[in-house]
């Protein structure tokens, strides 16, 4: 199950709507081993495509170095689908290299960048196997001791 705070959920949805019709993408980092999505990092879709996303390699290297320095890991890796449901494509599955991450997909196919609901779903993708998981949105994450 993915538990995510309202502000991070809203930021992911806003990014997906703002970038529509191009796929949006980003990461939510958290303390290594915690599973807590705490630090929202919006990324640029270097592909600039409505059907594919690609993290800029320089930006991604910078992010991973920063996470390493902060003893963090990618807890959520998100992107949007602009014309299809929020389910991982074959390409998404093939590129899923973080077995501990939650892969969040947001579909903006129904309303685009207009007001209206989106489809927000989360998956675990390990060795090509996709498992959907429940998403719980909470007002804020409980501080760790």
d(CA 97, CA 139): 30
d(CA 76, CA 28): 5
Rg of the chain in Å (alpha carbons): 14
d(CA 1, CA 124): 9
Rounded mean pLDDT of 60-79?
Answer: 98
Rounded mean pLDDT of 2-7?
Answer: 97
Q: What is the pLDDT of residues 124-137, one digit of tens each?
A: 999 999 999 999 99
Note the Cα 104 to chain centre separation in Å: 4
| pLDDT band per the 50, 70, 90 thresholds, residue 143 | low
Q: Under a CB-based contact definition with an 8 Å cutoff, are residues 111 and 117 in contact?
A: yes
**pLDDT value for 142:** 77
Residue 140 is classified by DSSP as: S
**pLDDT value for 145:** 45
* Bigger pLDDT: 77 vs 143: 77
- Answer left, alpha or beta for residue 127, where phi above 0 means left and psi between -120 and 50 means alpha: left
* Bigger pLDDT: 113 vs 70: 70
Q: Which domains are present in the chain?
A: 2-118 (3.40.140.10)
Look at residue 90 and give its three-state secondary structure: helix
Please tell me the pTM assigned to this model.
0.95
- Average pLDDT of the chain, as a whole number: 95
């Amino acid at each position: 199950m993915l538990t995510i705070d309202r502000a991070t959920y809203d930021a992911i949805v806003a990014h997906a709507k703002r970038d529509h019709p191009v796929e949006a993408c980003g990461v939510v980092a958290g303390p290594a081993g915690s599973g807590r999505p705490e630090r929202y990092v919006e990324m640029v879709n270097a592909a600039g495509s409505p059907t594919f996303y690609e993290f800029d390699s320089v930006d991604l290297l910078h992010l991973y170095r920063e996470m390493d320095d902060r003893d963090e890991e990618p807890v959520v890796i998100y992107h949007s689908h602009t014309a299809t449901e929020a389910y991982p494509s074959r390409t998404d599955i093939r590129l899923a290299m973080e077995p501990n991450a939650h892969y969040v997909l947001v579909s903006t196919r129904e309303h685009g960048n207009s007001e209206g609901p989106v489809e927000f779903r989360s998956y675990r993708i390990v060795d090509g196997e996709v498992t959907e998981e429940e998403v719980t949105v909470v007002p804020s994450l409980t501080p760790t001791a």
